[in-house]
Structure 1
Amino acid sequence: MTPQDLEIQNLTKKFDAFTAVDDVSFSVPAGSFFSILGPSGCGKTTIMRMVAGFIDPTSGDIRIKGRSVLDTPPNKRPVNMVFQHLALFPMMNIAENIGYGLRRKGVAKDEITRKVGEVLERIGLPDIGQRKVDELSGGQKQRVAIARCMVLEPDVLLLDEPLGALDLKLREHMKVELKTLQAAFDTTFVYITHDQSEALVMSDQIAVMNHGRFEQVGTGQELYYRPQSAFVAGFVGDSNRWRGKVTRAKAGQLQIITEAGLTMTGNNHRRDLSVGDAADIYVRPEAIRISRSADDLAQFENKMSGTVASLLFNGAASRLILKTESGEEIEVTLPQSGEFAGVGRGDTLHFGWSGEQANSFAASEDFTQVYQ
């Protein structure tokens, strides 16, 4: 059995009549990168603060290395935490910042010097010990904040949206940096974020959270390609979504008539929909193939045509907004081929997708909540 560094058992936190965390259970294997992904107010920070010991749960248990820490004060728990605002001390140099926790523990000066030197090597900044905080770049500060935690050798490192204050390019770079650092230290990271890209890029496992509960826990690929709820389908990645009524249901495959009168087929892996049920169907923009000829799309169960309403250019991630005769707008990934290099507004294109790539769920208000 894989050893678990962190185990959460039936954790609940209520603030008067409001339930912030509602009977959540999960475990994090040793040495893994686990992310909790969800919108603001879903309860993810509350979970992290309970693990750190800053607030007490209403019920449930928190176990680290197999031992309950409910009665252990924050400064005695084998965890450390990196905040969005890194809280480095500007009056101290980098070596003093990193060694601060060791000094508080009464570690000998020579041992502090050795440990600080080792951790600076591991974060790839061996020569900055005597520099001041304001002399560092944003990415360097981020690594120093992690080093200050890791020098204390915690069993679990908690990271509370640490990339949120960085600019876009640096944030993209730090995603790779964080994953590399986690592997280098071989320490369990528990990371919370509202940014799906951060979670997908870095995590071994992701828990998608909504209204105090986990909707689904799995790898990035499982969440993206096999969402188990309408919320996950709408929140993780981009999707086209239609609402309609089920007209045929057989062996996990559905036929749906949308509100605009379009007939579509899709999968229903949960097999919880029947004829007459209201349903939502989700299709990824990259799952839709476009062509200038309808004959090229004969193999797809779902196919239609439309005119280009807008071109959203973003290099390799460029998208087209296609408008059907019924007025539906569909977002499609623009292929990186010469055939579509000159496509523009008003052009007529044919498009189609496989029913297996269309995920269907019982009609839900979650889609509206995600995008409001």
Structure 2
Amino acid sequence: MADQFDLECRDVVKNFGQFTAVDQVSLTIPQGSFFSILGPSGCGKTTLLRMLAGFLEPSGGDILIKGKSVLGVAPNRRPVNMVFQHLALFPMMNVADNVAYGLRRRGVDRATIKSRVSETLARVGLPDAGPKQINQLSGGQKQRIAIARCLVLEPAVLLLDEPLGALDLKLREHMKVELKQLQHEIGTTFVYITHDQSEALVMSDQVAVMNAGRFEQVGTPQELYYRPQTPFVAGFVGESNRWQGRIETIADGRATIRLQSGGVIYAAADQFGMSGQTVGQEVDVFVRPEAISLERQGQGTTNEPGLNHMQGRVENLLFNGAASSVQLKELATGHDMNVALPQTGAFADIRPGDILDLGWKADQTKCFPAVATKAASQTDEAIA
């Protein structure tokens, strides 16, 4: 069974004095997959990556690569390699020498080095780049050379520590697609660390959402977005409007939730997260901005039976092309809301101060037992 996975963590713990940076983390990463660890600064993701690479030893638990424990194995003897955020390419060497560096350190003969460097540069789509100097490369090409320098050593797992963080926005968006395609073509298992949910959702086969040293949920990007299992995942992955309330009734397949700020929200009683909840229980309520429909005041379609209905005053318009949104203040409670702006052009002329009707279906309301968010108490990047 173990050899089906390129990498496993079994109840891995890392303590720094009295502080627990990684707390009983377990995961299995199938061969040839793109796996991301997503979380805010200080959640423990970089500490976990450093343990996988061998730069830190766990305080407890086990790490297996290709079914074999690597506890106590030095970084240079593990079948992994790592792409750092700042790439760490050698500016005094040309591309071929950068890629060949690890092979030379291992004492590989010259003919083999030449062949493997040529083959690896072709794999990353830069077959003619060998003679070029690093300063002649674009940002995206440098990313590929950093990956090639790791792949030439034929690692079982490639670790990537936020390698797109230093790129400008347009190049970063382009490189998301490039990295996903590259990983698919070469078939090496990628373990990608990021705090950027867009990177994780776009590129990954599976994502582990990490918070305060633990995994909140592991699943496909679609599972995390549409079926979050915890309030943290519902709030961290994607955008959500959030309320707190108490379940007032559960009847006819629908739960009525009385908000702390006033007003009522309806949720489908069988909605994921509602299982086992009872009348009187306090809950956290989440609704995605794109689930909410907008209508001009009094047009009535958002007030149909079975729909949640509110009215909001436009506070601000945030234009971002297809991702444009409207910030509103709900009239009855004063609650701030964010709603995706329809792309039909029907709302092109709305202005701050306009009153709009808001509506959404009960099955678009996500509910979870109310819990205090456990904040990471350490944000030092040295143990992030």
Residue by residue over 1:131-154, the C-alpha shift from the partner in whole angstroms, topping out at 9 and shown as x without a partner, is 111121111111100000001110
**Is 1:308 aligned to residue 314 of structure 2?**
yes
Residue by residue over 1:81-123, the C-alpha shift from the partner in whole angstroms, topping out at 9 and shown as x without a partner, is 0010111011100000001001111111111111111111121
* Equivalence for 1:332: 339
In structure 2, relative to structure 1, the CA distance for the partners of 1:300 and 1:117 (3 Å cut) is: farther
Query: Quick check: 1:243–1:363 contact (8 Å CA) kept in 2?
Result: yes
Alignment equivalent of 1:290, drawn from 271, 288, 294: 294
In 1, the alpha carbon distance for the partners of 2:375 and 2:363 equals 24
In 2, the alpha carbon distance for the partners of 1:84 and 1:254 equals 47
Deviates more, 1:288-297 or 1:94-103: 288-297
Query: Quick check: 1:231–1:367 contact (8 Å CA) kept in 2?
Result: no
**Is 1:348 aligned to residue 349 of structure 2?**
no
Residue by residue over 1:47-78, the C-alpha shift from the partner in whole angstroms, topping out at 9 and shown as x without a partner, is 11111111111111111111111132111100
In structure 2, relative to structure 1, the CA distance for the partners of 1:232 and 1:252 (3 Å cut) is: farther
Residue by residue over 1:286-321, the C-alpha shift from the partner in whole angstroms, topping out at 9 and shown as x without a partner, is 010111254312154311222212111111110011
* Equivalence for 2:219: 218
Query: Quick one: which amino acid aligns to residue 159 of structure 1?
Result: L
In 2, the alpha carbon distance for the partners of 1:71 and 1:148 equals 25
In 1, the alpha carbon distance for the partners of 2:19 and 2:330 equals 44
- Please give the secondary structure, in 2, of the residue aligned with 1:116: helix
In 1, the alpha carbon distance for the partners of 2:111 and 2:173 equals 37
Deviates more, 1:347-356 or 1:200-209: 347-356
Deviates more, 1:47-56 or 1:119-128: 119-128
In structure 2, relative to structure 1, the CA distance for the partners of 1:253 and 1:165 (3 Å cut) is: farther
Query: Quick check: 1:35–1:203 contact (8 Å CA) kept in 2?
Result: yes
In 2, the alpha carbon distance for the partners of 1:367 and 1:290 equals 34
Uncovered stretches (5+) of structure 1, i.e. residues with no partner? none
* Equivalence for 1:75: 76
**Is 1:100 aligned to residue 123 of structure 2?**
no
In 2, the alpha carbon distance for the partners of 1:283 and 1:323 equals 15
In structure 2, relative to structure 1, the CA distance for the partners of 1:287 and 1:368 (3 Å cut) is: farther
In 2, the alpha carbon distance for the partners of 1:251 and 1:195 equals 40
In 1, the alpha carbon distance for the partners of 2:251 and 2:12 equals 38
Query: Quick check: 1:95–1:116 contact (8 Å CA) kept in 2?
Result: yes
In 2, the alpha carbon distance for the partners of 1:300 and 1:134 equals 61
* Equivalence for 1:189: 190
In 2, the alpha carbon distance for the partners of 1:251 and 1:61 equals 49
In structure 2, relative to structure 1, the CA distance for the partners of 1:197 and 1:252 (3 Å cut) is: farther
**Is 1:281 aligned to residue 285 of structure 2?**
yes
- Please give the secondary structure, in 1, of the residue aligned with 2:100: helix
**Is 1:364 aligned to residue 364 of structure 2?**
no
* Equivalence for 1:243: 244
Query: Quick one: which amino acid aligns to residue 283 of structure 2?
Result: A
* Equivalence for 1:111: 112
- Please give the secondary structure, in 2, of the residue aligned with 1:339: coil
**Is 1:269 aligned to residue 272 of structure 2?**
yes
Query: Quick check: 1:252–1:269 contact (8 Å CA) kept in 2?
Result: no
- Please give the secondary structure, in 2, of the residue aligned with 1:366: coil
In 1, the alpha carbon distance for the partners of 2:261 and 2:300 equals 24
For normalisation by structure 1, the TM-score amounts to 0.95
Shift of 1:367: 9.1
In 2, the alpha carbon distance for the partners of 1:82 and 1:300 equals 51
Deviates more, 1:1-10 or 1:173-182: 1-10
Query: Quick check: 1:123–1:147 contact (8 Å CA) kept in 2?
Result: yes
Query: Quick check: 1:230–1:367 contact (8 Å CA) kept in 2?
Result: no
Deviates more, 1:337-346 or 1:350-359: 337-346
In 2, the alpha carbon distance for the partners of 1:214 and 1:332 equals 29
Query: Quick check: 1:234–1:367 contact (8 Å CA) kept in 2?
Result: no
In 2, the alpha carbon distance for the partners of 1:112 and 1:85 equals 25
Aligned residue-pair number: 371
* Equivalence for 2:329: 323
Query: Quick one: which amino acid aligns to residue 45 of structure 2?
Result: K
In 2, the alpha carbon distance for the partners of 1:368 and 1:101 equals 40
* Equivalence for 2:13: 12
Query: Quick one: which amino acid aligns to residue 344 of structure 1?
Result: R
Deviates more, 1:355-364 or 1:4-13: 355-364
**Is 1:57 aligned to residue 58 of structure 2?**
yes
Query: Quick check: 2:212–2:374 contact (8 Å CA) kept in 1?
Result: no
Query: Quick one: which amino acid aligns to residue 119 of structure 1?
Result: T
Residue by residue over 1:21-56, the C-alpha shift from the partner in whole angstroms, topping out at 9 and shown as x without a partner, is 111111000000000000111111111111111111
Query: Quick check: 1:35–1:207 contact (8 Å CA) kept in 2?
Result: yes
User: Share of identical aligned residues, percent?
Assistant: 60
In 2, the alpha carbon distance for the partners of 1:277 and 1:53 equals 45
